[in-house]
């Protein structure tokens, strides 16, 4: 009986030490998990909806609307002239939508992007918008 109690206590201690560590490949989580949701919403605008999920609240947020004009691309021609057109000019309408989950103390526990699209400089516009690279990185 004592061995079971000790094993259960050891397991409980081991599990208590587990925390969610944001992945380095997810700059949004690395930037915002553990921060106050008030700080997030003050920086990027209020949520459009919220739902209670036990002791957590899940907020749906949309923002970062931006229109970008991408010029046409051309092959290199002879004597420095422009060659044939490779891709046409186009307009990108960028936006970001995320679900922000907070605990009872209004601390962000997770952020999940929804319908993320490529940005100007990366595969994720939400990553560019919500977790911009710091100078010197």
Average pLDDT for runs of 10 along the chain of length 137: 51 40 71 95 95 94 92 87 90 93 95 86 87 65
Domains and CATH numbers, the chain: 22-66+93-130 (3.30.1450)
Tokens for 123, please give them.
């595969």
What is the spatial distance between Cα 13 and Cα 10, in angstroms, rounded to a whole number?
5
pLDDT of residue 22: 44
């Amino acid at each position: 009986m004592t061995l079971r109690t000790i094993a259960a206590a050891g397991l409980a201690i081991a599990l208590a030490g587990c925390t969610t560590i944001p992945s380095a490949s997810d700059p949004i989580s690395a930037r915002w998990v553990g921060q106050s949701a008030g700080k997030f919403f003050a920086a990027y605008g209020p949520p459009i909806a919220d739902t209670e999920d036990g002791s957590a609240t899940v907020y749906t947020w949309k923002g970062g609307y931006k229109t970008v004009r991408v010029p046409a691309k051309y092959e290199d021609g002879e004597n420095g002239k422009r060659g044939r057109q490779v891709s046409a000019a186009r307009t990108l309408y960028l936006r970001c939508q995320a679900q922000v989950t907070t605990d009872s103390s209004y601390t962000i526990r997770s952020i999940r992007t929804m319908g993320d699209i490529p940005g100007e400089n990366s595969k994720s516009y939400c990553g560019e918008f919500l977790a911009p690279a710091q100078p010197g990185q």
